[in-house]
Amino acid sequence: MKHIYTNIYSFNKNVLKKTISSLKSRNIASLPTETVYGLAGNAYSKEAIKKIFVLKKRPKKNPLIVHYFDISNAKKDVLFNNNFFKLYKKFCPGPITFVLKKKKNSKIIPLVTANLDTVAIRFPSHKIIRTILKFLSFPLAMPSANISSGISPVSPIDVFEEFKKKIKIIINGGESKIGIESTVVDLTDFPKILRPGIISSKDIKNVLKINLSKKKTKLKSPGMLKKHYSPGIPVILGKKPSNQKDAYIVFGKKHKSRNNYFNLSKKGNLKEAAANLYKTMRKIKKKGYKKIFVSNIPSFGPGVAINDRLKRASK
């Protein structure tokens, strides 16, 4: 039987060429990163960016992250500051996104930033996305490759299931190792975490040597909208299901093995749990369960990001 995934490609020189030429022609492609799979388009092309918003059914007021190979490519578009340099040196390339002031003469399309005067920038570490970025003369706007308000894809098949053949190129870069989206930190003012991730507030505090702002700002990161990261079936937190027809997400060794129990990490490792979170929710849905119950998960380190996503999934 001929397989149906004809738009999923293994990475090689020819596929690199094909992808570069497609992105240059203002098309979009789904590319792997270490966090989740993205839907990439030329951040300087209105045509490309429009395609991303339409395909994802993304509200226009939710800005996109712009991805660069390194600092020298990003300096045309944003104003750096000392906090940025410190965090860049420590964590990049890697799973962290910085919100900075946009330069007046930047070529980034206003639609990318939802007309804000700031831009979110990221330097992903996955080898494939880095190779592609290195060959391009423009940065890539790249949201997670899922329909808006759903959960992010962590494999090429997840992307295929979201968009089928509507994307011409999906590159297979294996399973995303981190499995949840990057930490978003606002550096335009007193540093503040807008979206928790695998790089924790403590990790950032240790580098900047200051306490981060806890000030509530009005919807600075629209991805922080309450309902988000939804697997498409009800998610109930802190409770055990009353029958075996509902799925139960658990964490740690104290839980038994049952058919409807899904352990994010038997070892009780929060990083492993984060990597398994979206994968597990997709698996549960595919198995036909109608509800997901979730036991308590510790709320420190990567646990903060896990609980953030679960809370939004439960809205």
Question: Which of ligand TXA, Mg ion, none lies near 49, with the C-beta cut-off 5 to 8 A by kind?
Answer: none
> Which conformational region is residue 120 in: left (phi greater than 0), alpha (psi within -120 to 50 degrees), or beta?
beta
| Number of residues in contact with Mg ion under rule CB under 5 A | 1
- What is the size of the binding site for ligand TXA (CB under 6 A)? 29
Rule CB under 6 A: is residue 27 a binding residue for ligand TXA? Answer: no
182 makes contact with Mg ion (CB under 5 A): no
Contact (CB, 8 A) for 122 and 116: no
Strand partners, 124: none
Residue nearest to Mg ion (CB): 144
201 scored as a contact of Mg ion (CB under 5 A): no
> Using the 8-state DSSP alphabet, how is residue 24 labeled?
H
Dump the DSSP string for 51-112.
Answer: HHHHHHT--TTSPPEEE-SSHHHHTTTB---HHHHHHHHHH-SSSEEEEEEBPTT----TTT
Q: Contacts with ligand TXA in 118-157 (CB under 6 A)?
A: 118-120, 122, 124, 142-144
User: Which of residues 47 and 189 has its CB atom nearest to ligand TXA in the complex?
Assistant: 189
Q: How many whole angstroms separate alpha carbon 270 and alpha carbon 253?
A: 13
Which is it for strands 261-263 and 292-294: parallel, antiparallel or unpaired?
unpaired
Q: How far is the CB of 221 from ligand TXA (least distance, A)?
A: 4
**Distance of alpha carbon 100 from alpha carbon 76, whole angstroms:** 12
33: contact with ligand TXA by CB under 6 A: yes
CB of 266 to Mg ion, least distance (A): 28
Report, in Å, the least distance between residue 14 CB and ligand TXA: 24
Contact flag: residue 182 with ligand TXA (CB under 6 A): yes
Closest separation between CB of residue 184 and Mg ion, Å?
11
Q: Does the protein bind Mg ion through residue 144 (CB under 5 A)?
A: yes
**Do residues 229 and 240 lie in contact, with contact meaning Cβ atoms separated by under 8 Å?**
no
Which residues 289-308 are close enough to bind ligand TXA by CB under 6 A?
none
With CB under 5 A as the contact rule, which of the stretches 123-131, 143-151, 163-171, 199-207 interacts with Mg ion?
143-151
At 236, list the tokens.
């109930």
Please give the distance of CA 25 from its chain centroid, rounded to a whole number.
Answer: 25
Q: What is the chain's length?
A: 315
**R_g (Cα) of the chain, nearest Å:** 19
> Do residues 293 and 247 lie in contact, with contact meaning Cβ atoms separated by under 8 Å?
yes
Question: How far is 94 from 75, CA to CA, in rounded Å?
Answer: 18
CA 315 from chain centre, in angstroms, equals 19
Start-to-end C-alpha separation, the chain: 41
To the nearest whole angstrom, how small is the minimum distance from the Cβ of residue 256 to ligand TXA? Answer: 34
CB of 86 to Mg ion, least distance (A): 27
Interface with ligand TXA, residue 191, by CB under 6 A: no
Regarding 36 and contact with ligand TXA (CB under 6 A), the answer is yes
The residue (of 141 and 264) whose beta carbon lies closer to ligand TXA is 141
Task: Collapse the DSSP code of 25 into the 3-class scheme (helix H, G, I; strand E, B; otherwise coil) and give the result.
Answer: coil
Residue 42 vs 263, nearer CB to ligand TXA = 42
Can residue 38 be called a binding residue for ligand TXA (CB under 6 A)?
A: yes
Decide if residue 74 touches ligand TXA (CB under 6 A).
no
Site residues for ligand TXA, window 220-259 (CB under 6 A)? Answer: 220-223
Contact flag: residue 200 with ligand TXA (CB under 6 A): no
**Which positions touch ligand TXA (CB under 6 A)?**
33, 35-36, 38, 62-65, 97, 99, 113, 116, 118-120, 122, 124, 142-144, 181-182, 184, 194-195, 220-223
